[in-house]
Every structure is written in structure tokens, then in C-alpha cells.
Structure 1
Amino acid sequence: MEERTRFSIGYYLFVLAMILGIQTLFFTGHEVQDKSYSDFIQDVSSKKVEEVVITPERLYGLMKSSEEQAGGDQVDEKVDPPAKHTPWRLPGAERISAWFDGAEKKMAAQRAEAARHFTVIRVEDEDLVERLSEHDVQFEGKIESRWLRNLFFNWIIPFAILMLIWVFLMRRMRGGPNALAVGQNKAKIVELDADSRVSFDDVAGLDEPIEETRELVSFLKEPDRFKQLGGRLPRGVLLAGPPGTGKTLLAKAVAGEAGVPFYSISGSDFVEMFVGVGAARVRDLFAEARKKAPCIIFIDELDAIGKARGQMGPMAGGHDERENTLNQLLVEMDGFDARTSVIILAATNRPEVLDPALLRAGRFDRQIICDRPDLRGREAIFKVHLRGMPLGPKVDAGALASRTPGFVGADIANLCNEAALLASRRGHSTIQMDDFNESVERIVAGLERKSRIISDKERKIVAYHESGHALIGHFTPSADPVQKVSIIPRGRAALGYTLQTPLEDRYLMSRDELIGRVRVLLGGRAAEEVVFGSVSTGASDDLEKASGIVRQMLSVYGMSEKLPNLSLADSSAGGYLGQGPQLAPHSGGIAQALDDELMEILAASYEHDLKFLREHQDQLEKMAQRLLETETLDASDVTDILGPAPSEGLP
């Protein structure tokens, strides 16, 4: 990929110099002396005027030279032999001096010649011709006709030069020869060599999407096998899923396996500041693709041009360039000849905002979901990324997969890279399991900030706060097991953290399990109140998460006791970007009832934590003191201090 040309101030100085040069060349010249008519008559009477040209509006004259005005003959300068004055025969410095002397004399002669010219505004004078003849002044009459010369020199040539400069600068900005081809598509034909080629073997954790795309490649390689059974080539395939799940990587694998031309372009590349450019680029892209069929067009981030039309309402008015681009895309996808084997492969993480006309059968015949990988998928992804890395004997892809629930392919790739960098920083010849564990904590909780100075009082508050989380989490069977507790600051704001990891992937959660999570989140603040009699601002993030869980329990999952089986979730909102479902419109009475029950659940959970921590304050003290000594406790340390986790804990 070519780098975009960077402009420096030198380009602008060059343009300024060219403009000044054009102005000097075409709009300036030798100044002609402007005389009054009385001075002109006096010069004629004094026989100082040699020649006059009479036009309807002005008189243009030429004064006699100073020698002629003195009445003497012009004296020729003494000319020495050529051997002494010819520059190419002089050595070194004398030759250069002769050149400068000759140039200076020539310029002086030109200035003197220019000083002899003058112009006079013509006045009505019946005796002018007689007076000129009387004093031997040569004169003639002319009608001025300079419009053609003025048009050519004052307009055509300067404008042409400025156009050439503009085209030159536009080419440099575009980095290519077609400066005015704004309607040309920006799609790149992917040409992969052996080193950069991606195959389906390099993609893991997406078993069903890989199977679907393999079939797509088979369509292109063996179309007759499917046509014999009455099947046809799918016109469009949409890859949808959360960010980082491997949609673009899967498209690269298709490019590496298909063996046909593969066009790659981003949705934002279609739209520019000029009206009509997006639609023109869509037409150009499909016209070029038809010529090279069978081929694949991959549009990344389709939501940039595929958002549903009319979202601003019918009275919004104005001209929406994005909608014009979408309309052209709809026409091209549904209008080109089915015999031309052109397949549209698109990727997005916002399928809910796409236009329904774009998603219908006949345009995107298939929608493939690339979801977050499960335990087996993460293990397969780890095995792909760990290939070729020098690993220690204890590194286990299965153990790493169990420690990274919710991680997507991009997170796992980043984790492996962080572990390699950490091992290099520590001087290891191989990557150890400890390097991976530390990298997991770095990604989940943030970078360790041991240099942050914390007072002893705040450090003690943090120790009891995290011990409260760990104690409630350890004795709550429905909560995730505690893997690590630390009071080392991490990230931007966290002064400590309690790491909990589920033993398996969870797709359903009961009301008791959600209540257990709320109790664990409130355990830190409850520990502060039990030990210090007051609370701090350290629980702000815990309170936000706890309130969010309870609000979703009541308004989305229908777990309210006062308003059972009620869901206010708006199915048209939400998506893969983590913004959560939006609430549908509802009455003030329902909102008040939900708020009251939310406060009751939070208050009841907090009271449970206070009661339990007061009953187990000795264990709370023991864990906090150990944290103040070692700063970090792992799962085995927590078990040694608190004992084994009970099968039945908090009511």
C-alpha cells in the first residue's frame, strides 16, 4: 500500500513563487512615462521628439537620444580586438567578470531605451499635425486593436499555467495520475504471495462460518456441480458479529482460497464530499467486477453506507449522499446478470441498523454470524496463535482458554503478543505460563502501576474493600470462583481488583445467580462500613454495575416480583457493540414501580453483606492483613485463609 504524500511548506512557497512570476511576466513591463500635453508641445518645439504615433485616444512618442538632443553625432564606443573582449577566451574569473559587465551594460542600455518612450492623452488640437511637420517629427496614425493579444497573454496563458499547477498539486495529494477521476472506485485487487496468504487453516473458533464460506469457494471453483442440481450462486454473503471475532480474517481466507480476483474496499471509501461520487464509485466497481467475473467483492464496515433510509423522517429535507450511494448499491446487487459470477462479501458489527432492502434474499442471500468463541473455540484459536512460538513446558492452550471467557480472536492474538513481549522483557528464552497469566491480568484489569504512591490509610481501605469482594464471592455458590485478589493499582482508576473467572461458558443465568453477582459487587462497600464505620468513593464502579444488573433483571428479563414477566426491551435497539438493549416507551407508574423494586433489591443485598461480614469479621481481618503483607493472593491463598468454598452459602 502506497503511503500518502505529505505536504510541506515548500509546495506552498513554490505555488506562490509561480503566481508572482506569472504576474511579473504578463502583467508588468517597462514603465512608460506619462506626459502632460503642454510638456509634449514644449518638447516638440524644442526638437526633442523623434517620432509620434497618433491613435484616437492617445499619442505614443519616442524622445531623441541625449546625443541627438545635443546636436552632435553619436560617438561610437572604442572597440578593442576580439581576443581581449570575447568571454569564452578569457580565463576563470576574468571570463565571469566579463559576463557580468556585459549583462550590466545591456540592462543599462535597455533602461535608457525604455526611458525615451512616453505617452500623452490626446486633446483636440487642430495645429498638431502642422506643428509636428514644422519641427521634423515623424508621425503616423493607427487604430488600436489589441483585444486578441490581451486575451491570449492576459487570460489564456496565465489560466493555463494555473491549471497545470493545480493538476500537479492534485496528483500529489491523490498519490496517483488520475487527479480528476473522483468517481473511480478505490477497491484494491488483493494479490497475496506465499508469505501473506491466509487460508482456512489460519482461522479457528468459527466452525460454522468456515463451513459456509468453504461452500462459497466451492461455488466459484466448481459452479457446474451446483447448477446440475438447479442451484445458483449466492449473490451476497453478510458476515455479522462483535468486533474482533474474525470477520475480516475470514474474508482474507476466502481471498486466499478462492483463486479468483478479490476486490477489497471499505464502506467509507464510497462517500466523499462531492455529490454523486459514492454512486459513481459503486457503478465503476461493479462494471470492473463484471469484466473479471467470476470474482468476489468484499465490503468491510458495510454499515457506513448501508444504514436504513428515512431515519431522519420524511420532513428532514436536504440531500443525503449516503442514501444515493445505498440506492445505487441496491440496484447493482439486484440488477446485474446472474450469469456473471460476482459475489458480494460484506462484514459489519451493526446488522441491526442495515436497510431491510439490503438484507433481503436476492441481495444478501446468506447471513453468517461470527459470534464470540466458546471454550473449544478459544482453545483452537490459542493453538493457531501459539504455532511457531517458543513455549515453556507448562503452557497449556486449554488452561488459557478456561481463563479467558468472553475473549474474541483479536483479544487472544493480543494476549499471545503481550506474553511474548513480557517474556522478552524478563529475559526468558521461552514463553512461560506465568507470562500468559500476567498478560491476562494486564488485558482484563489494566497495566500494573507500582509506581503510584498511595498513603497507608488508603492502602488499608483498599485491602478491606477487596477482601470484602473475595469473602462474599468465596461463600456464594452462585458466584464465579475467585481466582486472584490484588491491591496493586492497575489501569487509570483501579486501586485494586478481585478477579473472578467462571468454570465454564454460561449462556443462561438464574435470578439467584444474578443476585449473587450483585452481592459480590456490594461486598467491598459493606466491608468498608463494617471495619471503618463509613464508606468511600472506591465503590463507584461496583455500584454502577450492580444497578445495571438489577435494572436488566426487572426491565429486560422479566424477573420482577411486582411486575412479573414484563420486558421493556426494544428489539430494534442493541447489537454487537455492547451498548445493551434500549427500553421501549412505558408509563410513569411502571417506571416508579421498577425503581422502587430496584432500590429494595439493592438494599436487601447490601444488608445481607453487612450481616455476613460482621459474622465473619475475623476472616475478613485475616485476609486484609495478608493482602497488606503480600499485595496479591491467588486462588490457593484464598482457600488457605477462608477454607474450601461451601456448596451452600449465603441465603
Structure 2
Amino acid sequence: MAKENNTSPKKPRFSSWWIYGIIAVLLIGFQFFNSSALSSTKKTTTSELQEYLRNGDVAKILIVTNTRQAKVFLTPEALAKDVHKEVAEKPFGIAGAETPQYVLDYGDPQNFENDIKKAKVEYSLDTVIDYTTESNVFGEILLSILPFILIIGIWIYLMRRMSGGGGGGAGGQIFNIGKSKAKLFDEKTDTRTSFKDVAGLEGAKEEVEEIVEFLRNPDKYTSLGGKIPKGALLVGPPGTGKTLLAKAVAGEAKVPFFSLSGSDFVEMFVGVGASRVRDLFKQAKDKSPAIIFIDEIDAIGRARGKNNFTGSNDERENTLNQLLTEMDGFGTNTNVIVLAATNRADVLDKALMRAGRFDRQIYVDLPDIRERKEIFEVHLRPIKTAETLDLDFLAKQTPGFSGADIANVCNEAALIAARKEKKAVTKQDFLDAVDRIVGGLEKKNKIITPGEKETIAYHEAGHATVSWMLEHAAPLVKVTIVPRGQSLGAAWYLPEERLIVRPDQMKDEMCATLGGRAAEKVIFNKISTGALSDLEKVTKQARAMVTIYGLNDKIGNLTYYDSSGQDSYGFSKPYSEETAQTIDREISILIEEQYQRAIELLENNKDKLTTLAQRLLEKEVIFKDDLEKIFGKRPFDKDIAEEAAKAEETKNEIESNQE
């Protein structure tokens, strides 16, 4: 049996524009019929009218007194004449209507009437002279109400636009200004990101996966008396994958997912932020279980000020107060989990951070060498490579890189390969991409004098030599005297990824950093401005050792660091003037000690320093192999991959023991 086709053609939807169209057609039609009656009426003049009267052609003259216009009707005999052939044709008009053949405008009514009467007597005419007044009732009514129609029409149009009927986003309409601007994630149409697309971040990923599981299978947890967490805060440096984790939650969760930014609550109108918070949670409650994701929550979640003289923060604080109430207050929404992300957790309000609002704080840290390898695997999927890349090597070459940085490296490598007209991306393209991101664009055409080039070569060779001689200095990868970005030369190192740092390690790094200026002093007995970035780096390190980490004997076990960030803009220092002088003196002593240490090292290895600088002048770029030929094998080298494998093995052993 055939299935009946119940689908019927869609009927046209009624629209108010049909009414406007019908009215316009009626007006045009009325105007057409009104004008067609006069379509064959011809304009004439007073002198021509006198001639028509003289010839006896005029049967009637109708004088319209209120418009100073005269309508001339001809006799049947006159209509047969060739002179009046143009006006003799019967016009298309309303049946039975009497139509004049000529019309003329006159000036002074009295003179016009006297001229006609004089001609009538002189030529013995039986022409009828009549008087009338004309009024266009419809036209007068239309003219009187047209301004009101226009005003009402414009008002209706504006109201429809403001209320959302005329298009545009809810935030841009005056009546929807208090509505939430959150975007509801649609898994059918939006690009779906899964947890498989999130590499590394095992701990953070495990926590957010559990949040998704809460909403999918709440009975598993509530049956034991547990409660579903109210919120989770993703905290970490920029580019580590906080928003990507939220996208993965949106893709994996089979529940409505509302996404918006903290700045979406802020508006120039008073009370809008709180209204949008209420509307957001109302929508989420109606669709519960649901997830709300607020990116960059520090835009509204900053700590509330105690002494607010200007009143500039009142609106933001009202928004925050409403958010606090919605997350944990009377009438709290159930089965609505709030995810938020920020890289400024130190400035958030304490009431927002407490348990019951954000029950969990998930720290998303920079990836280690193993996690960077996994991130490379994800971002290399769409890239066409010419060879099987050593991902361990790439992971080692990118210490301190975030997930976003690694994605940028992969993209930059593909662009570099395309720029060189290659068919696939090679290992060298990735190395060039890392150099491009870390050091900047090469400037081979920069004009440098031979004397300046020699100084730069010895400066960079000094860095390489000192770092090679010290145990805790980062091992060298590459040295170049090709200008990049704002630097005239650069040395690339492969720093050891440490969780804690000891004073001797920091001092070795400072000594290696000062090796460039020390080399200039040893070779030329002069120093230059080229060590600015080096001096800036060692000054920060020395100040941190003295004032933050408590690694100075004179200052002792004290720190002047405020981790909460509340006193970062204070007007007073947390120490006395005498202590300030001691701090300055200890910082200076620490730096000068490492400077003299670098000079001594270079004095003892002056011949090797000269050989390295000459090779650098010759080749412009030298690598670790070149240093090994000059200095021999570095005794302090460690295999980072082996150490990472050992750390992984230790971790697995601990986990198995816990089980």
C-alpha cells in the first residue's frame, strides 16, 4: 500500500506589507482615473479663448472661482474642425462625466469676466457662463492625515526594530537590552570539538569530563548523598587551552551549553548587567540540566572596592552581586553548572571563589615536554609533511610554549614552506618557524658596519662560551649574528624544565646572561649598549632572589611578594628606607659578582672565545656541533627525553602503588 503524501504546498504567510501594497494600488488607481479625465484637456490662453469666442466655437465657460481657473467646453460643430482635432477624442474616464476641452488660468477675475461678457455681446454669442467651486475631498483628507500616517508608520517601524521584529541581535535592540547575549551551542550546526582534540592537560581534562558525566548520569553521584558542583573555574596562563576545554565540554555534553564572555554583561545602561545575568540563568534553568560558560570572567568578577569614590564600578559590582546570588542564594537554580575561565584569578572577588559557587578551581598550566609532543600530534594532523617528523625533537625545541604557541608554530611552518614553493613541510621549516616566533623576522638587509658585526659576534660567542662552561646554565642550541626583530644577534638555548630552582642554578644563568658584556670587556676593553636586554633580565632575576624568594643572607627569609595582587598598586613600599638601600646594595653585589665570574671564565678561555667568534663571523649561524669541535663534549649535558621517560615511569609506579 502506497504511503499517502500528506505534504501540501505551503501557503503564503500573511504579511502586513500586503495591506500597504493594496492601499498604494488604490491611491495610484484613484490618481490615474482622476488624471485620465483631464488627459485630453489642453491648456490654452486668454487670447486663444477670444479667438474661439469670435469663431463661435465655445458652448460653455465654467469659471472655478476658488482656483482662478476656467474650463472651456466646445460646441459639437467646433469639435469637427481640424483646429480642435487634438481635444476632440473622447477621453477614457468615468461614464457620464462632462469633460472640458480646454482649461486656462486667469489673473484678475473681474477683468476676465468683463472680457468674456464684452466678447459675448460683440459677437452675439449664446455661450453659457457659469460659476462653481471645486474641492477634492479625498485629497484634502489625505493631505490632512498624511503627516500623522507617516509619524505613526515610522514609530511602528522603529518599535518593531527595537523589539526584535526588524532583525538585528538582541543586544542591539532597546527592548531586548536586558536580555542575555549568550550563544546556545547547537551540536548539529556548530563545529564540534571533542576531548580527543584536547592534547595534554590530563588532570584538567579529567575534571571537566567528570562535570559532563555529572549532567549525563547524576544518579551515579547523588545516590550516595553527593551534590553536583555548582561551578568550575579554569585558571591558567594565556593560550594553555582553557577555552578549548570549554569547547570540548560543549561538544561532548548532551545538554544545552550557553557560551558568552564576561564583557557581554557590561553595557552603558544602568542595571543591564544584572538583568542579563537573571535572564541567562532563567534560560539555563528552563533548559536544565545545562552548562553556562563565561569566558574572561575577570571582566565582571573583580574584587569589589571598599572605598568607591567615583561610582564608576557600581554597575560592574551590581552585575557581580547578581551573579553571586544566582550561583548560590535563595532560589538557586538546580542542575545548572557554571564554567568560567580567566588568567587573572588573583583579582577575582573572594565571594566568587568560595566553595558553593566555584567548587572547583582547575589549574591549566603550560605543557611539559610530554604534553607538547601530544599537542604537536593534534596540530600536525591537517599539515602535509614531507617526512616523518621527530616529535620528541620538536617538543624539546619549544620549552615554555603554550598550546596556542605550538599551533602557531605548525601554522607558521606551513606558511614558510608555501613561501618557499615547497610541496610539503619539512623539519627545517619547523625550526625556522620556532626561530621566527621566538626571535622575530630575519633582517639580512640591515646595514651593519664591520666593527659592529665583530662586536656582535664576540658578544654572542661570550654567551655561548660561558653557558658551555657552567653546569646549571641552559645548554646551547644555536647562535646567530643575523639580526632578528629588534635584536642584532641571538643565542638559542634549551633550558631544563625545573619545578624548583636553587640559588646556584640562578647564579649560573645570570653569569651566562652577562657573558656577552663580559666578552666585550675582555676582547675590546670596552662595553656597549648591546647588552640592554641582558641587563634587564639579570636585574629581574637578582631582584627576585632578594625580594621574592628569600635567597639572600642579608635580607633573610623574607618576601615582599603579594600573591593576591591586591597591593600591586600600593602607594607605599612594604619595607623601610634602610631595607630598600640594603636590597639595592645586595642586588648590585649579586650582579657584579656574576659579571666578574664571567670575565674570569672568558679570560681563561680567550683563545677558544676568539676561535668561536671568528667562526661565527664566517658562517653567521653556528650550532651545538661547532661548539663541541672547539670546546669538546660538554660534561653537564643531560638527555631531557630520558629524564622525561624516567619521570613518567616514576609517575606510573606511584599510581600503581596507590591502586
The answer to whether the Cα contact below 8 Å between 1:623 and 1:641 also exists between their aligned partners in 2 is: yes
Kept after mapping to 2: 8 A contact 1:392/1:430: yes
Deviation larger for 351-360 or 195-204: 195-204
**Structure-2-length-normalised TM-score:** 0.73
**1:75/1:281 Cα in 2 relative to 1: closer, same or farther (>3 Å)?**
same
Distance in 1 separating the partners of 2:574 and 2:537: 23
Q: Relative to structure 1, is the Cα distance of residues 315 and 273 closer, same or farther in structure 2, using a 3 angstrom cutoff?
A: closer
1:603 is aligned to 2:596: no
What letter matches 2:358 in structure 1? F
Aligned equivalents of 2:284 and 2:176: distance in 1?
Answer: 18
Q: Could you tell me which residue of structure 2 aligns to residue 626 of structure 1? A: 615
Give the alignment partner of residue 576 of structure 2, picking from 580, 587, 592: 587
Q: How does 1:106-185 map to 2 (within 5 A)?
A: 159-160=151-152, 163=155, 174-175=168-169, 178-185=173-180
1:446-470 deviations in whole A, cap 9, x for unaligned?
1212222222222111111111111
Contact 1:235 1:344 in 2 (8 A): yes
Ranges in structure 1 where 5+ consecutive residues have no aligned partner: 1-61, 68-72, 90-104, 117-148
Give the Cα separation in 1 of the matches to 2:472 and 2:547. Answer: 22
Instruction: Please give the secondary structure, in 1, of the residue aligned with 2:479.
Output: strand
* The one of 410, 416, 421 aligned to 2:410: 416
The question of whether the paired residues in 2 share the 8 Å contact of 1:569 and 1:581 is answered with no
Match of 2:191 among 183, 190, 196: 196
> Partners of 1:513 and 1:582 in 2: how far apart?
34
**Cα drift, residue 365 of structure 1:** 1.1
- C-alpha distance in 2, partners of 1:430/1:601? 50
For residue 365 of structure 1, the aligned residue among 359, 366, 381 is 359
Partner of 2:490: 497
Match of 1:569 in 2: 561
1:437 aligned residue: 431
CA distance in 2, matches of 1:574, 1:623: 49
CA RMSD of aligned residues (A): 3.6
Match of residue 481 from structure 1: 475
Give the deviation of 1:198 after TM superposition: 0.9
Q: AA paired with 2:346?
A: E
Q: Does 1:344 align with 2:338?
A: yes
Aligned to 1:259: 254
CA contact (8 A) 2:480 2:622 kept: yes
2:228 maps to a residue whose letter is L
Q: For 1:366 and 1:506, how far apart are their aligned partners in 2? A: 27
**Aligned match of 1:53:** none
- Return 248-257 or 316-325, whichever deviates more: 316-325
Deviations 1:478-499 (A, max 9, x none): 10001100011111x1111011
| Aligned residue identity for 2:256 | P
Instruction: Say if 2:285 and 2:333, in contact at 8 Å, map to a contact too.
Output: no
Q: Is the alpha carbon distance of 1:300 and 1:515 closer, same or farther for their aligned partners in structure 2, counting shifts above 3 Å?
A: same
The alpha-carbon distance between structure 1 residues 66 and 372, as it changes in their structure 2 partners (threshold 3 A), is closer
Q: Which moved more, 1:517-526 or 1:159-168?
A: 159-168
Q: Secondary structure at the match of 1:263?
A: strand
Compared CA separation, residues 75 and 374, structure 1 to 2 (3 A): closer
SS at match of 1:570: coil
Distance 2:626 2:212 in 1: 53
CA distance in 1, matches of 2:447, 2:90: 85
Verify the 8 A CA contact 2:514 2:594 in the aligned structure 1. Answer: yes
Work out the CA distance in 2 between the residues paired with 1:113 and 1:534. Answer: 108
Residue identity matched to 1:199: S
SS of alignment partner, residue 180 of structure 1: helix
Q: Would the aligned equivalents of 1:270 and 1:325 in 2 still touch at CA under 8 Å?
A: yes
Native 8 Å contact 1:568 1:583 kept in 2 = no
**Counterpart contact for 1:419–1:431, Cα < 8 Å:** yes
Q: Which amino acid aligns with 2:421?
A: G
CA drift of 1:610 comes to: 1.9
State the Cα deviation string for residues 208-247 of structure 1 (Å, max 9, x = none).
1111111111111111111111111111111111111111
- Partner deviation per Cα, 1:311-364 (whole Å, 9 max, x = no partner): 5x2544466111111111111111375673111111111111111111111111
Partner residue of 1:447?
441
Give the counterpart of 1:225 among 213, 220, 227: 220
Instruction: Report percent identity of matched pairs.
Output: 47
Q: One-letter code of the match for 1:469? A: H
Could you tell me how far 1:561 is from its partner in structure 2?
Answer: 2.1
Q: 1:467 aligns with which of 461, 464, 470?
A: 461
Find the counterpart in structure 2 of residue 378 from structure 1.
Answer: 372
The 3-state SS of whatever aligns with 1:343 is strand
How many residues align? The count is: 530
Q: Secondary structure at the match of 1:344?
A: strand
CA distance in 1, matches of 2:188, 2:452: 57
Matched ranges for 1:535-546 at <5 A: 535-546=527-538
- Indicate conservation of the 8 Å contact 1:187/1:263, yes or no: yes
1:326 is aligned to 2:315 = no
Partner in structure 1 of residue 630 of structure 2: 641
Q: Matched residues in 2 for 1:184 and 1:520: separation? A: 58
Tell whether the 8 Å contact from 1:518 to 1:549 is kept in structure 2 after alignment.
yes
Alignment partners' CA distance in 2, 1:393 and 1:65: 95
**Greater shift in the superposed pair: 481-490 or 394-403:** 394-403
Counterparts of 2:92 and 2:251, CA distance in 1: 69
- Taking a change above 3 Å as real, the CA distance of residues 223 and 569 of structure 1, as seen in their structure-2 partners, is same
Partner of 1:335, secondary structure, is coil
**Aligned mate of 1:406, from 380, 400, 412:** 400
For structure 2, the residue ranges without an aligned partner over 5 or more in a row are 1-63, 94-101, 112-140, 638-659
Distance of 2:148 and 2:625 partners within structure 1: 87
SS at match of 2:328: helix
Q: Identify the structure with bigger relative contact order (alpha carbons < 8 Å, sequence gap 6+).
A: 1
Structure 2 counterpart of 1:617: 606
